[in-house]
Amino acid sequence: CDTIFPGVSKVDCVCVFPSTEPRDAPSEVKASSISSKEIKVTWRQINPGPGRPRGYEVSYRKDSEQEESGKKKKTAGNETSMVLTGLEGNSVYVITVRGFNSIGQGPASTANTAKTKKDPPVQPPANLMWIQEGTNVSLNWEPVKSKDNESDVIGYKVRPPYNTLQPSQLILILSRSRCPGSIIILSRSRCPGSILILSRSRCPGSILILSRSRCPGSILILSRSRCPGSILILTWCPGSMSILTWCLAQYPSLPGVLAQYPS
C-alpha cells in the first residue's frame, strides 16, 4: 500500500495479512487428568507458513454428550498447553485442538480422551476423640470408607476447618514441646478475642501474650505436663482447636494470671 506523509513525496510500506486459515491440525495432542475437576491438554505447534495460527481452540465434552453440547476455550496466544477446569469427577472427556487466525479456523486434531480422577470422599471421619497423656494429645477417629465413585483414602490432614479460619490465619499445630528448645507458633483465629500466643519458646525467656477468649462456647483447660515447670494449654472454639505447651519456669506469677480467666 502507498501512503503520503507531509514533506515526503511517497513511502512504500508492506502490509502482511494471513492468506488463509490454518491448513494443518496441531499434532502430538495429549490429555492427562490432574484432579477430579481438571485435565491438562498439551500439543505441538503448527509449523509456520501460509495460514499461521494466532492461537488455539480446545474443544471438550463428556463422551456421553453430543458434539454440539461441548465447550470451547481459546488460548491468549500461541501457547501449547491449557488446563480445563470445572469438570465432573470420574468422567471421560473427548478433547480436540485446532488453530485459528483472523481468517478462520483450521482442522481439528485427532480426538483424544482423558478421564478425570474420582472425587474425594464426602463423608468426614466419625467418632473423633482426643486423649491427653502428659504433654501429648492423641486424636483418634474411625476410618473413612470410600464409595465406588470416590477415590481411596491414602491419609488424613488435621487442621481447623476453613469456615472458621481465614487461610492466612490457619493454626500451625505445633511441634511437640519438650522444654527447653521447643518452638511454638500459633496464629490468631477469627474468633474475636480468642487466645493469641506468639512465642519462640526457648525456656527460659519465652514471650507470652494471653487474652481472654470471648468466643461463645470456648473452653480453656490447664493441666501440668510431664516437663518440670511447664503447663499444657488447650483452647477450643466451635469448630477449631489448638494445643500448645510452654515452660513456666521463669513465670511463677502466671498461674495467678490464668486464674483470672476461668473456663
- Which single residue is written with the C-alpha cell 487466645? 195
For residue 28, which amino acid is it? E
Say if 132 falls within a structural domain. Answer: yes
Interval 154-165 mean pLDDT: 62
Tell me, yes or no, whether 131 and 97 share the same domain.
Answer: no
pLDDT of 130 above 60:
yes
CATH of the domain at 87: 2.60.40.10
CA-based angle 88:92:93, to the nearest 5?
85
DSSP H or E segment with residue 242:
strand 240-247
Picking from 63, 83, 115, the residue at the C-terminal end of a domain is 115
Tell me, yes or no, whether 31 and 65 share the same domain.
Answer: yes
Over the stretch 71-121, which tens digit does the pLDDT of each residue have?
999 999 889 999 999 999 999 999 999 999 988 999 999 999 999 999 988
Range of the structural domain that residue 213 is part of: 126-258
CB distance 227 to 210 below 8 Å: no
Say if 22 falls within a structural domain. Answer: no
